[in-house]
């Protein structure tokens, strides 16, 4: 089971992902990283077909870094999300479509925190909270019930734990949600979570 979740607060974005690489019911490994650092203030979380996720995420990552080298400044989270959506849409209409679902989290001095939800059909939406994967069916109702736009960092972590407890209580779902990032201002915190 692949699972991504993101929660946006007034001055931060909290994201988490599982680390399982699986095909059907076979779990191949439990240390697969699904987070890609686009820049100092932007993270891309990617799930989908095994080869597509890494290839597409690294392609976007390198192009965002190339943009910074050519122009001398980084893309904003909004610009990075639209650039990613455009590339995914172009690939969708080619002979080599990518089957990837994405969350893009970032922080901009002018716009503040941003969380973008994107599916494999290149539909893009800015959202206060988002989730991808089987766990999204179980946790979106929890996020809808308890999320507030003025949520504090501590409450966001508690809400995330509540969602992860719900996912872990479902039978047949591996308990490997161990990676979390929190972006705010110019600081990226990278605690390793061991909930289970």
Decide: residue 147, CB within 10 A, 0-12 exposed, 13-18 middle, 19+ buried.
middle
pLDDT per residue, tens digit, the chain (196 aa), is 688 999 999 988 988 888 877 777 777 887 788 889 998 889 999 999 888 999 999 999 999 999 999 999 999 999 999 999 999 999 999 998 999 999 999 998 898 999 999 999 999 999 999 999 888 999 999 999 999 999 998 899 899 889 888 888 876 665 555 556 655 544 455 554 444 3
Predicted confidence at residue 1, as pLDDT, reads 66
73 Cβ contact list (under 8 Å, min separation 6):
none
Compute how many other C-beta atoms are within 10 angstroms of the C-beta atom of residue 20. Answer: 21
Helix axes 134-146, 153-169, angle to 10 degrees: 140
Range list of H helices, 72-96: 77-92
The angle formed by the CA atoms of residues 30, 31 and 32, to the nearest 5 degrees, is 100
Predicted confidence at residue 29, as pLDDT, reads 81
Dmax over CA atoms of the chain, in Å, equals 50
User: Could you give all domains of the chain from N- to C-terminal order, each with its CATH number?
Assistant: 3-189 (3.60.20.10)
9 Cβ contact list (under 8 Å, min separation 6):
113, 150, 151, 152, 153, 156, 184
Compute how many other C-beta atoms are within 10 angstroms of the C-beta atom of residue 9. Answer: 23
Predicted confidence at residue 131, as pLDDT, reads 95
pTM: 0.89
62 Cβ contact list (under 8 Å, min separation 6):
none
Predicted confidence at residue 17, as pLDDT, reads 85
Predicted confidence at residue 120, as pLDDT, reads 94
């Amino acid at each position: 089971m692949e699972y991504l979740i993101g929660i946006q607060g007034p001055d931060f974005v909290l994201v988490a992902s599982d680390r399982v690489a699986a095909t059907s019911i076979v779990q191949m490994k439990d240390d697969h990283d699904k987070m890609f650092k686009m820049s100092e203030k932007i993270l891309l979380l990617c799930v989908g077909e095994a080869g597509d996720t890494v290839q597409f995420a690294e392609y976007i990552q390198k192009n965002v870094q190339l943009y910074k080298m050519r122009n001398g400044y980084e893309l904003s989270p909004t610009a990075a999300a639209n650039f990613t959506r455009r590339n995914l849409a172009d690939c969708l209409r080619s002979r080599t479509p990518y089957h990837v679902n994405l969350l893009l989290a970032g922080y901009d001095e002018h716009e503040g925190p941003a969380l973008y939800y994107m599916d494999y059909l290149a539909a893009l939406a800015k959202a206060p909270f988002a989730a991808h994967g089987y766990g999204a069916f179980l946790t979106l109702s929890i996020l809808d019930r308890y999320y507030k736009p003025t949520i504090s960092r501590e409450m966001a972590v508690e809400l995330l734990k509540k969602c992860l407890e719900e996912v872990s209580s479902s039978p047949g779902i591996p308990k490997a949600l161990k990676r979390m990032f929190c972006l705010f201002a110019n600081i990226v915190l990278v605690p390793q979570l061991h909930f289970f």
